[in-house]
């Protein structure tokens, strides 16, 4: 179900505008793979959910999301599975339990004797929640639109500059009043990078519901004008350049920390 990947992250403290949401760091991992022959997405989903029982039995804090490509161009994997921890302490507690306790627990409790999802490659990332405006939890949908975009820092760009930029832009979005329903994260590769990793970071932008995504699209002309007028578009380009955006269906399975 998992392969051992460790992600060591430095916890940053960022000064955020008072009216904006919290910026925080976390640890995350991504597994790229394919559904086994004769299995379906529902088989993968059900098997992944079984691990939650182990987490709860051992008081571990870990979350899991599955991504399937929608508008992602030619993509060689059926699924991207992502796991995340609130901090490094919880990461090592969960991995230690997985290595030492899970085999015996699975032998006693699991209803599966084979994997429905075969992992082909994996990578560890440092995740930073940069900005976003939430909506009430009861409005969240199970399947969410998630955009990924690979980016590189310019010679004068860095993460601290982008986080300051993100806080200012979010404050303006709050003032606009019609941009609620999304979260934006910056993912920086740490371990497991190979020749395919030619970027410095990935922007991951998720939308809590299709309605929220639609409303944000409708507000685009006003948002674009604000970004140009305030100089935010040019400020981003001073710090980073990004490639094309790919869209996935995100299925947030669980977060045992909640």
* CATH assignment of the domain containing 127: 3.30.70
Residue 8 within a domain = no
Please check whether residue 41 is in contact with residue 79, taking contact to mean a CB–CB distance below 8 angstroms: yes
Domain hosting 194: range is 24-255
Residue 215 within a domain = yes
What's the start-to-end Cα distance of the chain, in Å?
22
Cα dihedral 63, 66, 71, 77 sign: positive
Residue 150 within a domain = yes
Residue 96 within a domain = yes
Q: In total, how many domains does the chain have?
A: 1
pLDDT in the model for residue 7? 31
pLDDT in the model for residue 193? 83
Hey, what are 148's tokens?
A: 């990924």
pLDDT in the model for residue 155? 97
Residue 106 within a domain = yes
Residue 219 within a domain = yes
pLDDT, one tens digit for every residue, the chain (258 residues): 433 232 323 223 333 334 578 999 999 999 999 999 999 999 999 999 999 999 999 999 999 999 999 998 888 899 999 999 999 899 889 989 999 999 999 999 999 989 999 999 999 999 999 999 999 999 999 999 999 999 999 999 999 999 999 999 999 999 999 999 999 999 999 888 888 899 999 999 999 999 999 999 999 999 999 999 999 999 999 999 999 999 999 999 999 998
Residue 6 within a domain = no
Residue 11 within a domain = no
pLDDT in the model for residue 55? 98
Q: What is the 3-state secondary structure (H, E, C) of the chain?
A: CCCCCCCCCCCCCCCCCCCCCCCEEEEEEEEEEEECCCCCHHHHHHHHHHHHHHHHHCCCCCEEEEEEEEECCCCCCCEEEEEEECCHHHHHHHHHHHHHCHHHHHHHHCCCCCCCEEEEEEEEEEEEEEEEECCCHHHCCCEEEEEEEEEEECCCCCHHHHHHHHHHHHHHHHHHCCCCCEEEEEEEEEECCCCCCCCCEEEEEEECCHHHHHHHHHCHHHHHHHHHHCCHHHHHHHHEEEEEEEEEEEEEEEECCC
């Amino acid at each position: 179900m998992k392969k051992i990947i460790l992600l060591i992250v430095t916890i940053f403290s960022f000064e955020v505008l008072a009216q904006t949401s919290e910026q925080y760091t976390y640890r995350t991992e991504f597994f790229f793979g394919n559904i086994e022959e004769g299995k379906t997405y529902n088989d993968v989903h059900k098997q992944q959910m079984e691990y939650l029982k182990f987490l709860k039995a051992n008081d571990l804090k870990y979350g899991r999301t599955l991504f399937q490509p929608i508008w992602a161009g030619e993509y060689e994997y059926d699924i991207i599975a992502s796991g995340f921890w609130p901090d490094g302490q919880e990461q090592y507690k969960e991995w230690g339990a997985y290595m030492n306790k899970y085999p015996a627990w699975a032998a006693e409790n699991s209803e599966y004797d084979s994997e429905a999802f075969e992992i082909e490659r994996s990578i560890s990332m440092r995740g930073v929640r940069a900005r976003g405006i939430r909506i009430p939890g009861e409005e969240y949908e199970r399947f969410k639109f998630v955009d990924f975009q690979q980016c590189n820092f310019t010679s004068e760009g860095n993460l601290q500059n982008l986080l300051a930029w993100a806080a200012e832009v979010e404050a303006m979005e709050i003032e606009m009043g019609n941009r609620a329903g999304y979260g934006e994260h910056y993912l920086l590769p740490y371990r497991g990078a190979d020749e395919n990793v030619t970027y410095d970071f990935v922007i991951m932008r998720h939308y809590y519901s299709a309605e929220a995504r639609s409303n944000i699209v409708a507000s685009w002309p006003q948002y674009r004008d604000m970004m140009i007028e305030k100089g935010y578009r040019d400020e981003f380009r001073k710090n980073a350049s990004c490639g094309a955006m790919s869209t996935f269906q995100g299925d947030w399975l669980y977060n045992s920390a909640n």
